[in-house]
Amino acid sequence: MSTHLTTRWDRLNGPSRVAGIDLARGLAVVGMFAAHLLWIEEFDVTDAATWLGIVHGRSSILFATLAGVSIGLVTGGRTPLTGAPGHVARGRLAVRAGLLWVLGLLLIATGVPVYVILPAYAILFLLALPLTPLGARVLLMIAAALAIVMPFFYVWLDGLLWSFSEGALIDASIGWHYPFPVWLAFVVAGMGLARLGIRDVRVQFGALVVGAGLAILGYGLAFLTGADTSGEPASYWEAIWTARSHSSGLLEVIGSGGFAIGVIGACLLLCRTVVTWVVLPIRAVGSMPLTAYTVQILAWAVAAIVVLGDPTDLVGFRDLAPFWPLTLLTIAGCTAWALLIGRGPLEWALDKAARFVVPSRTRRIPQ
């Protein structure tokens, strides 16, 4: 038993994992729990009573940026995989994207009133595949271009989508609450970080400084220009020039994208210290984010049916104060699983499926 536990401990804390990335993922998961389960006002930096609202929008953007980091790591890290290894890595990512999309639709079918992010993730994974051979500089330039340009197109694309009678169905099936034309910027930025080398302390410190600078720029411009952060935009320009959560406005993309990069840098730096052991339970959640996210929605559906008789009753479920029980049980469950069993069950299943569909290419030795 002690040998088994030691093996699991080494896997969670060994060189194959980046502790700071697990911490950032864990924080993103808990932040999404809070956004789903708590009554929270829109974040206003000048009003301390609203500061918990920082989880709205920013948690999911952090999650998307971390997805980009993961894509960058599995496709070579600092040096992009080329040739057969690169084809295998991209093939496996494509399989995972397909499975994430199916899982997302299944979670939507539970009726739980949240915007399930997995269909958007699936599309973002596929859109990122052609970019995996690129280096850090090009990726970061693409991310910057997408961040600046796509908010202008999003307003038009959003109107186009809702002009169809099947708009609601399309919205759910592609995860349009997290619009992929805009959110690809966050994924590509994460890929760029991975290509820079996230284990390098200079990169970690740079991410913290640059991310904080972008956050100050985006939110600062919103504050100084009086950009509305609370209501629906009254014009095309207001729809673009806003930092409102989930607006996909230019200032939100800059500010919240910078926030995500800064958090990643801060987590990487913190995990170079003794803090890494203090936050081990959060890191355990971050080592299996898909499992934690999925179980939360399934537990919500079951509890709402049993207690309320209706999984779609958001007001009734939030009034049950489920955040702390679900969050603490998730943290405890993920920690126990990581130490006693190892890899998260859904992470393990997706990896096995991807390896089965796209096996490693071995060279035949001529006879």
Give the pLDDT means over successive 10-residue stretches in the chain (367 positions).
61 80 97 92 73 86 97 96 94 98 97 96 98 97 98 94 92 96 98 96 98 96 78 81 91 97 98 95 96 97 95 93 95 95 94 95 48
* Cα distance between residue 190 and residue 264, in whole Å: 9
Q: b or e along 92-112 (b: 16 or more beta carbons within 10 Å of the residue's beta carbon)? A: bbbbbbebbbebbeebbebeb
* Cα distance between residue 111 and residue 99, in whole Å: 20
Q: By the 8 A CB rule, do 210 and 258 touch? A: yes
Q: What is the DSSP string of 228-274?
A: -SSS--SSHHHHHS---TT---HHHHHHHHHHHHHHHHHHHHHTTST
**Non-local CB neighbours of 359 within 8 Å, separated by 6+ positions:** 88
* Cα distance between residue 72 and residue 320, in whole Å: 40
Query: What pLDDT, on the 0 to 100 scale, is given for residue 62?
Result: 97
Q: What is the pLDDT of residues 247-298, one digit of tens each?
A: 999 999 999 999 999 999 999 999 999 999 999 999 999 999 999 999 999 9
Where are the chain's structural domains? 2-357
Closest CA to 245 of 212, 272, 264, 218: 218
Q: What is the pLDDT of residues 58-113, one digit of tens each?
A: 999 999 999 999 999 999 999 999 999 999 999 999 999 999 999 999 999 999 99
CA distances from 171 to 14, 165, 355 (A): 40, 11, 31
Q: By the 8 A CB rule, do 91 and 358 touch? A: yes
Query: What pLDDT, on the 0 to 100 scale, is given for residue 4?
Result: 59
Q: What are phi and psi of 366, to 5 degrees?
A: -60, 140
CA distances from 276 to 89, 131, 207, 307 (A): 30, 32, 19, 38
Question: Helix, strand or coil for residue 340?
Answer: helix
pTM for the whole structure:
0.93
